[in-house]
Amino acid sequence: MEFKVPTMAELMAAGEEPEILFWVGCAGSYDERAQKITRDICKILHHVGIKYAVLGTEESCTGDPAKRAGNEFLFQMQAMTNIEVLNGYNIKKIVTGCPHCFNTIKNEYPGLGGTYEVIHHTQLIQDLINEGKLKAEGGESFKGKKITYHDPCYLGRGNGIYEAPRKALEVLDAQLVEMKRCKTNGLCCGAGGAQMFKEPEKGNKDINVERIDEALETNPQFIAAGCPFCMTMLSDGIKLKDKEQEVKVLDIAEITARANGL
Amino acid sequence: MVAQILFLILTLAAVALFTVNFRKIIRNIRLGKPIERNDQPQKRLMTMIRVAFGQSKMVVRPIPAFLHFFVYVGFVIINIEVLEIMIDGLFGTHRIFHGLGGLYDFLIGSFEILALTVWLSCAIFLIRRNILKLKRFSGVEMTSWPKSDANYILITEILLMSAFLLMNAADAKLQALGIGHYVNAGSFPVSQFLQNLLPNSESTLVYIERGCWWFHIAGILAFLNYLPYSKHFHILFAFPNTYFSNLEPKGEFNNMPSVTNEVKAMLDPAFVPAETAPGKFGAKDVTDLSWVNLMNAYTCTECGRCTSVCPANITGKLLSPRKIMMDTRDRVTEVGKNIDKHGAEHQDGKSLLDDYISREEIWACTSCNACVQACPVNIDPLQIIMELRRYAVMEESQAPGSINAMLGNIENNQAPWKYSPADRFNWAEGN
């Protein structure tokens, strides 16, 4: 990276507070594919000049997969530890790179003592576009390109956020095509509810293949995602269909960064 | 006079029997654990008006929404006619409201048109189920009883509407003949076409008119008593079910207070929990679920919208959200019967988990909320699945191996994968 990503510890040592904390998430931290998205989110934050910071090694799992797998103990242990860190840094506003982290911190942390303004990175991108701080210029042109957006369950149905990611794509002047099952009726990629970490039960098809088949029906050049788990599932599906050359699966942050030459 | 007494006995018996069975269902629902659902009454009322009265979630599928709307409006409005039947039956009058004049004609005319639309809608519903065999109406849980139940309901409604129209046709003919108490009242836009099918003999017409009248009201009373055994119970429970439905974002799962106490005590030895809620974590049986979960089960009309959008079910997995609801209702009904027979303390050694719902089903869920979104009456199968998972994991430590590995990683490395916490910030060094 051409710039240094600031951590909360550094900011605190300098007696400063960030405008917003970027909660990276486990996938964004460790998964190679998702790390690219994380860096692109940082590039966008850096580009528009928002004062932000990450927790770095002080971050830890929100507890979402533990909760969805039924281990409320482990979830609350994680949650309370994280809340202690977040409150210790006097965090007010958080942007997450993952709809699961977003949902957990926004909805499930307040009851355990952690109340913050939480947004997903697609909402941040939409806000920046609305404020005129972010455009789609200086980089790759997506004009007229066919893009279909896959709704992550925990952003869409889970929290009713359907417009922000689409607004972030509209600015590209691309051709947005919807899949048959979209928005409230969107089909899961197959990773939610801790499925990401286990083999699927016996069936006649994998869920991500069902979803990719549907995405490919729209004949897209790009499939836009907003979740690192969806990214894994959709990319695996594209690989399985041997369509890696024709169709690219990109996160909205990556598309935004590319369009701005970041 | 004999007819009036007979009518009174019939009505009282039907209402009494219904009350007994209805109270049993309320008792069964109360077997569930408490959950706070009395907050924000205004928002709850609006949800009920929008979703139950307004049928707002039905419109997603326009064809059944359209047909269902006719049956729904027909059901609600034709019940005004039942009021007249009740008064006539008790006091030996005939068409007591005929004094309303033009308004009466308008009402009877509208009922006839509604009766016809109900009749046609039910016929189309029967065709969809039995001839077109729509996929939504099949599945492992759609055994012979649920399928018959649906057909019984539709056939009964068709018979009730037929009786109503035939009664009017005979009545109108008797009116035209100027027979006795058959006053000139009502308008018959639909049944006029049935008049030619009827004989002209006065006594036969009276038999038909009376026969249909008794069949119509006895049918309604019988149908009322069929409801507690049937999926058709939704006509009553759709309203409280939407009123008490979840108002929080669908992605939010409740934080268990009993766990909060233990975790707080673990993190801070000086912490003294305000209250110790005894009992197990999660749900093994229906009595571990909340009363809202159990009310959901009695409200389910087995339409299968949930299952048809479930990613697990679509891809051939065993999980079907509709089955989760049907199993919950079957089990709580069984528990209720045990209480009636053997007393409240009786244990039959069975449970919702394993005897009704298998582990394979609960672990196939992606918690995507598609089922919750799809339900036209705001039933939440996901909450039941999560409670069963909680029991399996926290009480039994029984989860698929890879899930246990993931939980172990979070515990040891604060991430669901086996990476070192020290490497968490390494992404910043890449490009």
CB–CB of B315 and A207 under 8 A? Answer: yes
Q: How many domains are contained in chain B? A: 2
The answer to whether residues B207 and B276 belong to one domain is: no
The answer to whether residues B220 and B357 belong to one domain is: no
Domain boundary among B213, B243, B273: B243
The answer to whether residues A34 and A98 belong to one domain is: yes
Q: Is residue A180 part of a domain?
A: yes
CB–CB of B317 and A203 under 8 A? Answer: yes
Residue A196 half-sphere exposure toward CB, CA atoms < 13 A: 28
List CB contacts (< 8 A) between B396 and chain A: none
Q: Is residue B224 part of a domain?
A: yes
The answer to whether residues A69 and A139 belong to one domain is: no
Domain boundary among A126, A145, A164: A126
CA-nearest of B10, B167, B9, B150 to B78 is: B167
CB–CB of B430 and A188 under 8 A? Answer: no
Q: In angstroms, rounded to a whole number, what is the distance separating the alpha carbons of residues A168 and B171?
A: 67
List CB contacts (< 8 A) between B427 and chain A: 24, 28-30, 35, 38-39
Q: Is residue B193 part of a domain?
A: yes
CB–CB of B405 and A197 under 8 A? Answer: yes
pLDDT of residue B270: 83
The tens-digit pLDDT sequence of chain B (431 residues) is: 899 999 999 999 999 999 999 999 999 999 999 999 999 999 999 999 999 999 999 999 999 999 999 999 998 888 788 899 999 999 999 999 999 989 999 999 999 999 999 999 999 999 999 999 999 999 999 999 999 999 999 999 999 999 999 999 999 999 999 988 898 989 999 999 999 999 999 999 999 999 999 999 999 999 999 999 999 999 999 999 999 999 999 999 999 998 998 898 888 888 877 666 567 899 999 999 999 999 999 999 999 999 999 999 999 999 999 999 999 999 999 999 999 999 988 999 999 999 999 999 999 999 999 999 999 999 999 999 999 999 999 999 999 999 999 999 999 999 999 999 999 999 999 87
The answer to whether residues A191 and A143 belong to one domain is: yes
The answer to whether residues B362 and B396 belong to one domain is: yes
pLDDT of residue B275: 65
Q: Which domain holds residue B404?
A: 257-419
Q: What is the CATH number of the domain that holds B319?
A: 1.10.1060
The answer to whether residues A187 and A155 belong to one domain is: yes
List CB contacts (< 8 A) between A22 and chain B: none
CB–CB of A159 and B386 under 8 A? Answer: no
The answer to whether residues A118 and A185 belong to one domain is: no
pLDDT of residue B198: 94
CB–CB of B410 and A65 under 8 A? Answer: yes
Cβ burial of A242 (10 Å; 0-12, 13-18, 19+) is exposed
- Residue stretches of chain A with pLDDT short of 70: none
Q: In angstroms, rounded to a whole number, what is the distance separating the alpha carbons of residues A227 and A147?
A: 16
For chain B, positions 157-216, list CB contacts with chain A under 8 A.
none
> B397: nearest CA in chain A?
A71
List CB contacts (< 8 A) between A26 and chain B: 415-417
Residue A127 half-sphere exposure toward CB, CA atoms < 13 A: 11
Spell out the long-range contacts of B18-22 with Cβ–Cβ below 8 A and sequence spacing 24 or more: B18/B224, B18/B225, B18/B227, B18/B228, B21/B225, B21/B228, B21/B229, B22/B228
The answer to whether residues A97 and A148 belong to one domain is: no
The answer to whether residues B374 and B341 belong to one domain is: yes
The answer to whether residues A215 and A243 belong to one domain is: yes
Nearest to B410 among A4, A66, A199 (CB): A66
**Structure token pair of residue B195:** 């008049």
B61–A contact, CB cutoff 8 A: no
**pLDDT tens track for A65-124:** 999 999 999 999 999 999 999 999 999 999 999 999 999 999 999 999 999 999 999 999
Domain boundary among A103, A126, A149: A126
The answer to whether residues A21 and A109 belong to one domain is: yes
| Interface probe with A: pick from B264, B318, B427, most Cβ of A within 10 Å | B427
Q: What is the CATH number of the domain that holds A44?
A: 3.40.50.1860
Neighbouring-strand partners of residue A93: A117
Domain boundary among B243, B267, B283: B243
The answer to whether residues B208 and B296 belong to one domain is: no
Q: Is residue A3 part of a domain?
A: no
CB–CB of B389 and A70 under 8 A? Answer: yes
The answer to whether residues B197 and B288 belong to one domain is: no
Domain boundary among A60, A95, A126: A126
> B312: nearest CA in chain A?
A207
3-class secondary structure per residue, chain B: CHHHHHHHHHHHHHHHHHHHHHHHHHHHHCCCECCCCCCCHHHHHHHHHHHHHCCCCHHHCHHHHHHHHHHHHHHHHHHHHHHHHHHHHHHCCCCHHHHHCHHHHHHHHHHHHHHHHHHHHHHHHHHHHHCCCCHHHCCCCCCHHHHHHHHHHHHHHHHHHHHHHHHHHHHHHHHHHCCCCCCCCCCCCCHHHCHHHCCCCHHHHHHHHHHHHHHHHHHHHHHHHHHHHCHHHHHHHHHHHHHCCCCCCCCCCCCCHHHHHHHHHHHCCCCCCCCCCCCCCCCCCHHHCEHHHHHHHHHCCCCCHHHHHCHHHHCCCCCCHHHHHHHHHHHHHHHHHHHHHHCCCCCCCCCHHHHCECHHHHHCCCCCCHHHHHCCCCCCHHHHHHHHHHHHHHHCCCCCHHHHHHHHHHHHHCCCCCCCHHHCCHHHHCC
Residue A236 and residue A189 in contact, taking contact as beta carbons nearer than 8 Å: no
| Interface probe with B: pick from A201, A206, A207, A209, most Cβ of B within 10 Å | A201
Neighbouring-strand partners of residue A22: A95
Distances from the Cα of B222 to the Cα of A62, B17, B115, B219, angstroms = 55, 10, 19, 5
Q: Give B395 to chain A, closest Cα distance, Å.
A: 10
CB–CB of A157 and B370 under 8 A? Answer: yes
Q: In angstroms, rounded to a whole number, what is the distance separating the alpha carbons of residues B278 and B285?
A: 16
The answer to whether residues B280 and B131 belong to one domain is: no
List CB contacts (< 8 A) between A228 and chain B: none
CB–CB of A57 and B316 under 8 A? Answer: no
Residue A77 and residue B261 in contact, taking contact as beta carbons nearer than 8 Å: no
The answer to whether residues A97 and A140 belong to one domain is: no
| Interface probe with A: pick from B255, B358, B411, B423, most Cβ of A within 10 Å | B255
For chain B, positions 343-362, list CB contacts with chain A under 8 A.
360
Q: Is residue A26 part of a domain?
A: yes
The answer to whether residues B328 and B211 belong to one domain is: no
The answer to whether residues B268 and B172 belong to one domain is: no
Q: Which domain holds residue A104?
A: 8-126
The answer to whether residues B66 and B165 belong to one domain is: yes
The SS3 of residue A229 is: helix
List CB contacts (< 8 A) between B428 and chain A: 1, 4-5, 39, 42, 54, 56
The answer to whether residues B220 and B281 belong to one domain is: no
Q: How many domains are contained in chain A? A: 2
The answer to whether residues B118 and B168 belong to one domain is: yes
List CB contacts (< 8 A) between A54 and chain B: 425, 428
Distances from the Cα of B209 to the Cα of B97, B162, B195, B202, angstroms = 18, 12, 12, 10
Q: What is the CATH number of the domain that holds A140?
A: 3.40.50
List CB contacts (< 8 A) between A57 and chain B: 421-422, 424-425
